[in-house]
Structure 1
Amino acid sequence: MAAGPPAPEVIDSDMPEPASEFFTDLWKTSISPQLRLEPDVDIHPVEHRLSSEVFQAESGGKSLILRWYPAEEPSRLKSYLEASDVFSDLGLRIPERIGEGSTPQGTWILEKKVEGKSFRDLSGNLEAHSQAAKALALLHSHESRRYGKAGAWKGRYLSVRWKQRFHERWLKIRNLFPELVDAEAETAHWFQDWCDAFAPSRYQLLHGDYHPGNLILGQDGQVVFLDFRSPRYGFGLVEMVEAAHSFCGEEPGDWNSFVPVYLEHRDKNTRDLDAHFATSIHAVFHLRQATDSPILQSG
């Protein structure tokens, strides 16, 4: 295996996309001999984030998870392992690591799912809220390093994947904020248009970029989301809202055990990050009349 994985092709199909020859070869030459598994297995991509590639492998009647981390930036792998350790210490349900190894091109990890506690099982555990908020902040703070410089095919491929995942991610927002149903078509148009034009050598972060194109409005004209199209300030904010909602319930006023800890542990090296996130959170929670909550005024 002298070369790393080639640029993946996007295939519009309901059928599982087969893994590239690089990963089937990786399985046969490295993973199978080391772990004494079948050499011939079905491997299909689950998702591709440029930080890692995730596959499902069927071996011996078991469904396994294969993660691949390129060698260029070891912090990508470190982020995943650190977050996994945090959640494992809390007793949450995380995949069990059954083997790992390295090649000059990167590191592979093979996992299997195990039963354990879910996030909701810890809904009343304030220490769990704090630890989970720290872990999420850690992952989001590493985002620029995970993606790094994404020019050439990498940037283009990622923009295509974002387009494909828009409706999946939007569904989560719509479930939390049903008032946004009528904004879906326009938001999708904005998002896809932005992806089509995506060609920077490095992702541009949001620094006071407040203009009409960065706002989504509710039916009554309220500002309900800020710069949804930003890969860091859009999806990162979505994930924070979802996690706080899952841990602490539907009312943002009850999120005191999660949101302040998350904001405190975001990457301090990003200019004005906490202030802009607080502004974004204000915009999101405006729809739920949560602007008087003390945790939303602490940005």
Structure 2
Amino acid sequence: MKKKGKFLLFTMDEFDQWLLETRFSRSVKLVQNHHTYLPGYVQFTGSNHFGLLEGMEHFHMAERGFSEIAQNLTSFPDGTVAVCRSIDKVPCGIKGANQEGICLENLGNFDAGGDTMTPAHRDAIVKINALLCREFNLTPNTDSIVYHHWYDLNSGKRTGGSGTTKTCPGTAFFGGNSMDAAAATFIPLVAQTLAQLTGGTAPSAPVPLKSGEVVASSLNVRAGRGTEFPVVKGLKRGVRVNVFETADGWVRIHPTEQQWVAERYLRYA
């Protein structure tokens, strides 16, 4: 472990041990995943972890009016993780989801066309989420592991990506920033790692048949394959979805729930 002021920098093994040895007093029910966007990979030299953290804290205090750095944790491209703000302190990460949340900022720009995540960073992000699930007895799912993109910036309500939102943690973050992408690609990796950590068995994740892009200006997602079923939510043009089942001109876009769209409004790559 390395330390500078309040900032603690760990390897993954050190962070694992630190969590086991540390007791926390705050109730935690979800892990927020973010990307810094800026600074990104180009600003990371491999040895300036503390300088970047100090810069982020200065920005959060001077420009945002926060009392200190917003996030509890920051992950880096070399696979390390820093404790920045005490885990016992409520973060300033997602309006509407801070009180019982932990904020994890992943250094980089993970929008499409941005930074290409290093293998070490990828493994670290998955393991940090798994370790936090172990520490706070959370089952990995889209209720316990959340993305900033799913919350409206103005109201703080969870909308699943509609309304006024950020792309955070990135449109290319582990296959996308939608709830369906998280459930299909990111959550299973966390569950598998958690099972390895605890000696349990990870549930098998449904494998998508293919993926497509919404071509309608607005596409209704329904609770069954037909217009007689209620609308669950809406999708905007350009949103990418995974397809898990096809039937009668309709496709199921959620790995476990009955969420269907008319296939004619999707374009396959």
| Band of TM-score, shorter chain | under 0.3
Structure with greater proportional helix content: 1
Q: Considering only CA atoms, is the larger Rg found in Structure 1 or Structure 2?
A: 1
Structure with greater proportional strand content: 2
